[in-house]
Amino acid sequence: MVGEGVKKFLERAFTATGELPPASEIDGIVTKYKGYYGSADMSNTYLYEGAKEVIDYLKVNGVKIAMVTNKPRIPTHFILKKLNIFDSFDFICAEEDVAEHKPSPFPLLECLKKLCVNIENSLMVGDSPADINAATSGKIPCVAMTYGYSRISYQQLGADYLCESMKDLKIILDK
């Protein structure tokens, strides 16, 4: 049910239970959910195997690292701090930071602008259609991590590279 933001997630959840609330109540439910999400137990949240090593590798080699997420800022920062990688990022762009969200390329392009990085010197790594669509619409080179949550095959997304593991990603980064 995940992907495409909180509102879509909740609509899918309510549809699955057969109890879709009136449209006039959805925004209030989204706000309430975000409040819970920001204080939720994150004990089952973890980094994918090899992710920390890739982040450390990039930092050691002077590569700027950013995160662009459609998630709200508070839970995003909380999760990154819990995982001990918050300080690894040069820039974090959350839901409240931009007017348009992925799959629009706008947040990615804004991120590159903030970091003073040209499109040709960038690489978007994502695990969802929203990530890959944002990158391809912005003409940003991209990698699709094939263990994400796509409802269509990763081969159909149009990423420049497909990776099954962080080890594979490191090989692409070395190119």
DSSP assignment of the chain, as one string? --SS-HHHHHHHHHHHHT-PPPHHHHHHHHHHHHHHHTT---TT--PPTTHHHHHHHHHHTT---EEE-SS-HHHHHHHHHHTT-GGG-SEEE-GGG-SS-TTSSHHHHHHHHHHT--GGG--EEESSHHHHHHHHHTT--EEEETTS--SS-GGGTT-SEEESSHHHHHHHHH-
- Has residue 174 got a pLDDT over 90? no
pLDDT in tens, 57-108: 999 999 999 999 998 898 899 899 989 999 999 999 999 999 999 999 999 9
pLDDT of residue 43: 79
Q: Selecting from 3.40.50.1000, 2.60.120.260, 3.30.70.330, 3.40.50.2300, what CATH number does the domain 51-174 have?
A: 3.40.50.1000
Domain-by-domain residue ranges, the chain? Answer: 6-37, 51-174
pLDDT in tens, 119-145: 999 999 999 999 999 999 999 999 999
